[in-house]
Amino acid sequence: MNAGETAAGLLLLALGAYVSATASRFPHLATGYPGPGLFPQVLGVLLAVQGIALVAAGFRGSDPPSFPWTRRDLFNGFLVVLAVGVYVVASPRLGFLVTSALVLTGLMARLGAGLGRSLLLGPALAGALYLLFGKVLRVPLPPGLLG
């Protein structure tokens, strides 16, 4: 059994059912024509049917190849996601330059770039991005601590 496909199929079935159920409660047009609920309902049902088909395919399928990612790489991937989350939370208070320099330096070092190089390139790249987006494109980047 292909566990990934079966799990995905079940997820889709659940999602489709949820969407359909929610959309069926959307209001209708006065003249009786279907309103905003029609399309999501159709899509929900479609998704649920596809989910069932996928579960069936998953049961029939062979074992998937073993997990291609190493534990260390998975952790690094998680760190990248976390880093963006940290940026979203911290940048209003710490400002763009500080937060992005920290994020860049941290990620580069973690991915193996060497501490010296990371400490040099992190703030440098942050500064370059600030110039490009903040000055050339005039995007209002949060000043934070440096404001």
Partner 1 sequence: MDAVTRAVGLLSQPDVLLVVLLAAVYGLFVGAMPGLTVTMAVALFVPFAMFLNPVPALAAIVTLQAMGIFAGDIPAALVRMPGTPASAAYVDDSFALSQQGKARLVLAVDVLASSFGGLLGAAALMVGAPLLAEWALGFSSFEYFWLAVLGLSSTAFIATGSPLKGAVSVTLGLLLATVGIDITLGFPRFTFGIPELLDGVGFIPAMIGLFGFSEVLRGVLSGRMQLAYAPLEPEPAFVPALRILWRYRLQALRGGLVGLVTGVLPGAGADIGAWLAYGVSRKFSKEPQRYGRGSMEAIVESGVANNSDLAAEWIPTLVFGIPGDSFTAVVLGILMMKGMRPGPAVLHDYRDVLVAIYLAFILANVLMVPFGFAAIRASSHLLRVPRNVLLPAIAMVCVVGSYAINNSLFDVGVMLVMGVAGLLLEALGFPVAPVVLGMVLGPLVEQNFMISLIKSEGAWVQFVARPVSLALAVLTALVWALPAAGFVRGLAARLRATAGAA
Enumerate residues 94-123 that contact partner 1 by CB under 8 A.
96, 100, 103-104, 107-108, 111-113, 117, 121
Find the angle CA(72)-CA(114)-CA(69) to the nearest 5 degrees. 15
Answer for the pair 66, 112: CB distance below 8 angstroms, yes or no: no
Residue among 57 and 143 whose Cβ is closer to partner 1:
57
Of 87, 119, 127, 144, the one binding partner 1 by CB under 8 A: 87
Minimal distance, residue 59 CB to partner 1, in Å: 12
Tokens linked to 117:
């190089």
Q: Round to whole Å and give the CA distance between 111 and 118.
A: 10
Q: Is there binding between residue 126 and partner 1 (CB under 8 A)?
A: yes
- Those residues whose C-beta lies under 8 Å from the C-beta of residue 94, and which sit 6 or more positions away, are 102, 144, 145
Answer for the pair 72, 63: CB distance below 8 angstroms, yes or no: no
Tokens linked to 32:
């009786």
- Residues comprising the chain, all counted: 147
Enumerate residues 22-81 that contact partner 1 by CB under 8 A.
22-23, 26-27, 29, 33-36, 38-40, 43-44, 46-47, 50, 53-54, 57, 69-70, 72-74, 76-77, 80-81
Q: Round to whole Å and give the CA distance between 65 and 79.
A: 25
Minimal distance, residue 109 CB to partner 1, in Å: 9
Residues in contact with partner 1 by the rule CB under 8 A: 4-5, 8, 12, 19, 22-23, 26-27, 29, 33-36, 38-40, 43-44, 46-47, 50, 53-54, 57, 69-70, 72-74, 76-77, 80-81, 83-85, 87-88, 91-92, 96, 100, 103-104, 107-108, 111-113, 117, 121, 125-126, 129, 133, 137-141
